[in-house]
Amino acid sequence: MRIVDLLKRESIMLDAAPKSKSEAIDMLVELQVNGGCISDKDEYKKGIVAREEHATTAVGEGIAIPHAKNKGVKAPSLAAMTVPGGVDYEAPDDEPSTLLFMIAAPESGGDVHLDVLAKLMTILMDEDFRANLIAAKDKDEFLKIIDDMETKKYPEETPDSPKSDDAKPSDGVIKVLAVTACPTGIAHTYMAAEALEKKGRELGIGVKAETQGSGGAKNVLTKEEIAACDGIIIAADKNVDLARFDGKPVLRVPVSDGINNPEELIQKILDGKAPIYRHEGGAAETDISNEKLGRRLYKHLMNGVSHMLPFVIGGGIIMALSFLLDGGAAGTSQFGSSWVLPAFFNKVGNLAFSFMVPILSAYIAQSIADRPGLMVGFVGGSLAASGATFAYFADPTVPIVPAGFLGGLLAGFVGGWFMKILRGLCDKMPKSLEGLKPILIYPVVGLLFIGAFMCLVNPLVGMLNNALTNALDSMGGSSAIILGALVAGMQAIDMGGPINKAAYVFGTASIAMAAGGFSPVMAAVMAGGMVPPIAIALATIFFKNRFTAEERKSGPVNFIMGLSFITEGAIPYAASDPLHVIPACVVGSAVSGGLSMAFGCASPAPHGGVFVFPVMQNPLGYAAAIVIGSVAGMFMLALLKKKKVQK
């Protein structure tokens, strides 16, 4: 979705002169109403004001982007206002805001507002662009300036528009292709694609990157481009379908390499150092004999986690809403279901949440064994969640202890490897029996194996799962604070890498084990991921002499990244000065995670940042923990980083 698709002429006001922040909000809300996408003005404004109470949406550099996602909105929309004289919008740099955009997103409209926020912040960092908008003489010119800039910045989203001059080298030949993907598809995916394409332009080499993000694949590589290119870079932390690259040089690396080492990767393709990929059978895999076992396990795990997240996020938040709506029944057996609306939310949320373990197992197994592993993993995960055992089938009065998340992991890996071995054995069968494999042998043999295996191991894994749950429940005082500081600090060590993801997966698993689905561990993990970008943004404002002019210019963007729980916003700063930035961020994150535990905060959702604060336990304490941790990180940055020679 493009910015200009959301912005109508009726929702634009030029040369406005609000006297205060509240007056500016009133004017922008009225512009949104004029656009016809608001069904309940009061409800929508309530959401805007509530968001501002958490923290100002002014990000500095004269920019403010108030936004709300609630039931008062019937369709996504934007309103815009220029204020040449400026208005005090409580910006972190204490400068008046001159350019204001207000975003409206429907309650059931996914994360369209986050996508638009990211686009807006990217193009609004261009000083000339902002000046042109403020100087626009009429609404048509205002829209044209945005349209031209968005077309230039995102030419792949405007197929009928010509590419910008720097999109390709002058000969127009694309020599290197890439596919980028990270488990959550939020930040690393697009940062790696941008880094590779930008480096290609600098080298005068045509590079095109396909992004497999949370919203699906974009900038998809065509058959013609694949046939003509010198090779393909796969910068991904989850499995990517490689069947279409049969016979081409393919270089597989972590997504972080795409961000940090784009020139090296491009040069390897050009120098012919990438191995030739040969597609065999149904599995879309390259030869991974040289890939370390730990790396392969991590990729299989992340494939399961990335498919599981929508079920956990959606189910967790919807369940939390049922309790918020049913506060009068708190403490009773009907809490969350005492009347029709919370009962509906509770049922739908629980249903989505119940698929968490089967989906995790299914896509781990699919990552290992391709399609034959999918059904086996799903059934294995379901058996783990149910706690089925042979003893129970013999005597239904035997207590059942679900194997839960840990059982799901085991089912996914064991089921996937079994099906991979079975496929290898079946390859020796006569070709005349080829048709029997997918419709008879794989499903029947795989189902019998995983059923018997899970019924045998479920009691043992269930006991371990219970022990972990009891250990987490019994933690209090200093031990809980230490745990919160540890998992939060891990979020800042490699900012999206294996250590970060290990803590994140642990936090996600804790939601399934926590009473009522409210996890203190997940709250600490999310706090730890939010702090690094916010701490860096604060430091670029209050300790400007520690940063270059370019770093200070990009600083305000990190407020948005941090508040949205996108730790990767801190990566460019950490990459340029890891010995000082990473320890400072780890300290800030650890402080935040420890305080989150100390304040009794708990989260029902594994993502969402500030947007899920309303459904958390002790949201005010949680906000305080993040603020304190961010300030601690800011002062650590000021202490550790050396002053820059200002130009």
The residues, ordered by sequence, that sit 6+ positions from 483 with a Cβ below 8 Å of its Cβ are 475, 521, 524, 597
What letter would DSSP give residue 570? G
The average pLDDT across 55-66 equals 78
Query: Are the CB atoms for 541 and 643 separated by under 8 Å?
Result: no
Round to the nearest angstrom and report the end-to-end CA distance of the chain: 39
Hey, is 16 helix, strand or coil?
coil
User: Which of 118-127, 309-318, 387-396 has the weakest average pLDDT?
Assistant: 118-127
Architecture of the domain spanning 174-270: 3-Layer(aba) Sandwich (3.40)
- Per-residue pLDDT, 21: 93
- Which band of pLDDT confidence, cut at 50, 70 and 90, is reported for residue 261? confident
Q: Kindly tell me if the per-residue pLDDT of 283 is higher than 90.
A: no
Cα separation, 237 vs 296, whole angstroms: 10
3-157 matches 174-270 in fold: no
- Tokens describing residue 631: 């300030």
Per-residue pLDDT tens over the stretch 340-352: 898 898 889 888 8
What residues form DSSP beta bridges with 166?
Answer: none
Q: Return the exposure string of 436-451: e unless at least 16 CB atoms fall within 10 Å of the residue's CB, then b.
A: ebeeebbeebbeebbe
The average pLDDT across 422-432 equals 79
- Tokens describing residue 100: 């204001």
Catalytic entry in 67, 188, 307, 607:
67
The candidate with the shortest Cα–Cα distance to 509, out of 494, 500, 519, is: 519
Residue whose tokens read 């292709």: 177
| Percent of the chain that is helix, strand, coil (3-state, to 5) | 60, 10, 25
The average pLDDT across 448-454 equals 94
Listing DSSP states for 472-530 in one string gives: HHH--HHHHHHHHHHHHHHHHHSSSSHHHHHHHHHHHHHHHHSGGG-BHHHHHHHHHHH
Distance of CA 143 to the CA centre of its chain: 30
- Per-residue pLDDT, 382: 92
The Cβ of residue 567 has, within 10 Å, a number of other Cβ atoms equal to: 28
Query: Are the CB atoms for 555 and 547 separated by under 8 Å?
Result: yes
Cα separation, 285 vs 369, whole angstroms: 9
Cα separation, 388 vs 382, whole angstroms: 9
What residues form DSSP beta bridges with 471?
Answer: none
Query: Are the CB atoms for 368 and 351 separated by under 8 Å?
Result: no
Distance of CA 287 to the CA centre of its chain: 29
Backbone angles phi, psi at 263, to 5 degrees: -65, -40
* Burial bucket for residue 619 (CB in 10 Å: 0-12, 13-18, 19+): middle
- Per-residue pLDDT, 512: 67
- Per-residue pLDDT, 502: 72
- Per-residue pLDDT, 349: 81
Query: Are the CB atoms for 440 and 425 separated by under 8 Å?
Result: no
Q: Classify domain 3-157 at the CATH class level.
A: alpha beta
CA count, 13 A, side-chain hemisphere, 418:
25
Backbone angles phi, psi at 15, to 5 degrees: 55, 40
- Per-residue pLDDT, 250: 93
Query: Are the CB atoms for 389 and 405 separated by under 8 Å?
Result: no
Q: Kindly tell me if the per-residue pLDDT of 69 is higher than 80.
A: no
Q: Kindly tell me if the per-residue pLDDT of 427 is higher than 90.
A: no
How far, CA to CA in Å, does 191 sit from each of 125, 329, 479, 565?
A: 16, 46, 37, 16
- Tokens describing residue 10: 């009726």
Distance of CA 172 to the CA centre of its chain: 33
- Per-residue pLDDT, 167: 40
Q: Kindly tell me if the per-residue pLDDT of 158 is higher than 80.
A: no
Cα separation, 235 vs 72, whole angstroms: 41
Active-site annotation holds for 188: no
For 202-235, give the secondary structure using H, E and C: HHCCEEEEEEEECCEEECCCCHHHHHHCCEEEEE
Query: Are the CB atoms for 377 and 431 separated by under 8 Å?
Result: no
User: Which of 29-38, 352-361, 475-484, 555-564 has the weakest average pLDDT?
Assistant: 475-484
Hey, is 177 helix, strand or coil?
strand
Per-residue pLDDT tens over the stretch 350-378: 888 788 889 989 999 988 888 889 999 99
Q: Kindly tell me if the per-residue pLDDT of 85 is higher than 50.
A: yes
For the stretch 286-291, contacts whose Cβ atoms lie closer than 8 Å and that sit 24 or more positions apart, written own/partner, are: 286/234, 286/242, 286/250, 286/252, 288/252, 291/252
The residues, ordered by sequence, that sit 6+ positions from 67 with a Cβ below 8 Å of its Cβ are 48, 51, 57, 102, 103, 104, 105, 113, 117
The average pLDDT across 422-426 equals 86
The Cβ of residue 36 has, within 10 Å, a number of other Cβ atoms equal to: 13
Give the H or E element holding residue 380. Answer: helix 371-386
What letter would DSSP give residue 439? I
- Which band of pLDDT confidence, cut at 50, 70 and 90, is reported for residue 527? very high
Catalytic entry in 37, 113, 182, 229:
182
Q: Kindly tell me if the per-residue pLDDT of 632 is higher than 90.
A: yes
User: Which of 292-306, 613-627, 631-645 has the weakest average pLDDT?
Assistant: 292-306
Backbone angles phi, psi at 397, to 5 degrees: -85, -10
Hey, is 7 helix, strand or coil?
strand
Q: Kindly tell me if the per-residue pLDDT of 166 is higher than 80.
A: no
DSSP H stretches of helix in 271-339? 293-325
- Per-residue pLDDT, 418: 94
Q: Which amino acid is at 451?
A: G
- Per-residue pLDDT, 385: 85
Listing DSSP states for 409-420 in one string gives: HHHHHHHHHHHH
What residues form DSSP beta bridges with 216?
Answer: 213
* Burial bucket for residue 26 (CB in 10 Å: 0-12, 13-18, 19+): middle
Q: Kindly tell me if the per-residue pLDDT of 286 is higher than 50.
A: no
CA-atom Rg of the chain in angstroms: 26
Length of the chain, in residues: 647
Cα separation, 538 vs 559, whole angstroms: 8
Per-residue pLDDT tens over the stretch 16-59: 999 999 999 999 999 999 999 999 999 999 989 987 876 677 86
Domain chopping of the chain, boundaries: 3-157, 174-270, 293-460, 477-640
Active-site annotation holds for 182: yes
For 418-436, give the secondary structure using H, E and C: HHHHHHHHHCCCCHHHCCH
Cα separation, 372 vs 426, whole angstroms: 12
How far, CA to CA in Å, does 26 sit from each of 48, 57, 102, 294?
A: 10, 15, 11, 55
Q: Report if pTM > 0.95.
A: no
- The sheet with strand 174-181 has its strands ordered as 216-218, 206-213, 174-181, 231-236, 250-253
Q: If you average pLDDT over every residue of the chain, what do you get?
A: 81
The Cβ of residue 52 has, within 10 Å, a number of other Cβ atoms equal to: 20
Query: Are the CB atoms for 405 and 509 separated by under 8 Å?
Result: yes
Per-residue pLDDT tens over the stretch 303-355: 887 787 778 767 767 776 777 777 666 556 676 788 889 889 888 988 887 88
